Amino acid sequence: AEKQRIEYIDLIKGITIVLVMYYHCPVPEDNHAMMMLSYTRIPTYVFLSGLFFSTYDSFKQFVVKKNESIHHTLVFFVAFALITLPLHYNGLNLNEFKSFVYDIVVNGSIERLNGPIWFLEMLVWLSLFSYAIDTLLKDKTKVLKASLCIIISLIAFTLNDIVSQYEYNSFLAILFIYNIKLPAALIFLPTFYIPHLFRTQILCYHKPRLLYTGLPITLIVLYLCADSTIIHSICKYNISYPRFFIGQFAGIYSIFVIGYVIKRLPFFSFVGRYSIIVLGTHMLVKQFFIFYLNITDPYILFAILVVTAPICILVIKQYFPHFTAQKDLLKLSPDGKLKISFKD
């Protein structure tokens, strides 16, 4: 059963990361299907990240484990983007380089180097908040914790609405929305923390008929909620909070049922298992083909990303496993000492 669960989770991750690549090509967004997908891609990825967020015995253990799964990977893909900068921006003239440096150093916009890593920045915050809730509300009920997350998310969503009334180049917008990803993390807190709370119930649920029955209902709900495209990386929502909250969980449910039914598709399951590598490399691949080979057709670009994703996975997994959450770099010994190890 455990193997089966992992297989369908990998498939869901694979479907999600392929949808992310499809969105980044970019494809036209002025149709209802793309609007529905905007409620599905990132929320599902957040949900899965929360589903496998662990409870830690100490803050030191938490820091070590999160360094392995998020921080090392974030730093690696920023460094990788810096090294390959001339490749995916066709040399970069001096003015463009100054603009990059200014954005990174002054504005803190490290995702300017590699757009999709904003998601890893957000995961840092989500992990910190979740650890804090686990620690401070250790003896409280799951319902109370989930309710608190929803209240925090609602407040953040409302405040984000107020901040977004300013022009996006204002100090407030630059600080809160573009750079530190704090609003995004707070808004997504229930999406991350609730599956963490109910992990056992979610992974051990085995009533497929009930799941299938709910699918048409959730697809209708998703269709009704999705009346505009939302952009999670800059917290651009032109909807009410109830519609956002209900719509994203309808999207997550739909993807989960599809994964649960199919169980495994070799390509999707493979890229799903190593989705963090695909997340950190696909935009760099896309930029290379745009700037050097002048390929701009979104569907051709998408096909290229699909073909190159397994290649990127095999290369990165082979040569940089300790920096992409495939193998542990830091290890905590029984006596509490921290060790760096490049051994398997």
Q: So what's the pLDDT on residue 313?
A: 96
Q: What is the DSSP letter of 116?
A: G
Q: Helices 41-51 and 118-136, interaxial angle, to 10°? A: 40
Query: Would you say residue 1 has pLDDT above 50?
Result: no
- Of 12-21, 163-172, 266-275, the range with the lowest mean pLDDT is 163-172
Rounded Cα gap, residues 109 and 100, in angstroms:
9
- Of 11-15, 38-42, 57-61, the range with the lowest mean pLDDT is 57-61
Q: So what's the pLDDT on residue 256?
A: 92
| 66-101 residues labelled b (16+ CB within 10 A) or e (exposed) | bbbbbbbbbebbbebbeebbeebbeebeeeeeeebe
Query: Would you say residue 222 has pLDDT above 80?
Result: yes
Torsions phi, psi for 287 (to 5 deg): -65, -40
pLDDT band for position 173 (50/70/90)? Answer: low
Structure tokens that stand for 198 in this block: 């109910």
Cα dihedral across residues 215, 221, 225, 226: positive or negative: positive
Q: So what's the pLDDT on residue 2?
A: 44
Structure tokens that stand for 6 in this block: 């992992």
Contacts 24+ apart (CB under 8 A), 149-153: 149/189, 149/190, 149/193, 149/194, 150/190, 150/245, 152/186, 152/189, 153/186, 153/187, 153/188, 153/189, 153/190, 153/241, 153/245
Tell me the per-residue pLDDT of 235-286, one tens digit each, with 9 for 90 and over. 888 889 999 999 999 999 999 999 988 989 999 999 999 999 999 999 889 9
What integer is the mean pLDDT of 58-62?
Answer: 77
Give one DSSP letter per residue of 84-113, joined into a string: THHHHTTT--HHHHHHHHHHHHTS--GGGT
Rounded Cα gap, residues 26 and 9, in angstroms:
26
Tell me the per-residue pLDDT of 100-122, one tens digit each, with 9 for 90 and over. 666 665 555 555 667 888 898 89
pLDDT band for position 89 (50/70/90)? Answer: low
Mean pLDDT, the chain, integer: 82
Q: In whole angstroms, how far apart are CA 8 and each of 11, 42, 190?
A: 5, 18, 23
Rounded Cα gap, residues 132 and 109, in angstroms:
26
What integer is the mean pLDDT of 221-227?
Answer: 90
Helix ranges, 94-181 (H): 94-105, 118-136, 142-163, 171-172
Cβ–Cβ under 8 Å, residues 62 and 94:
no
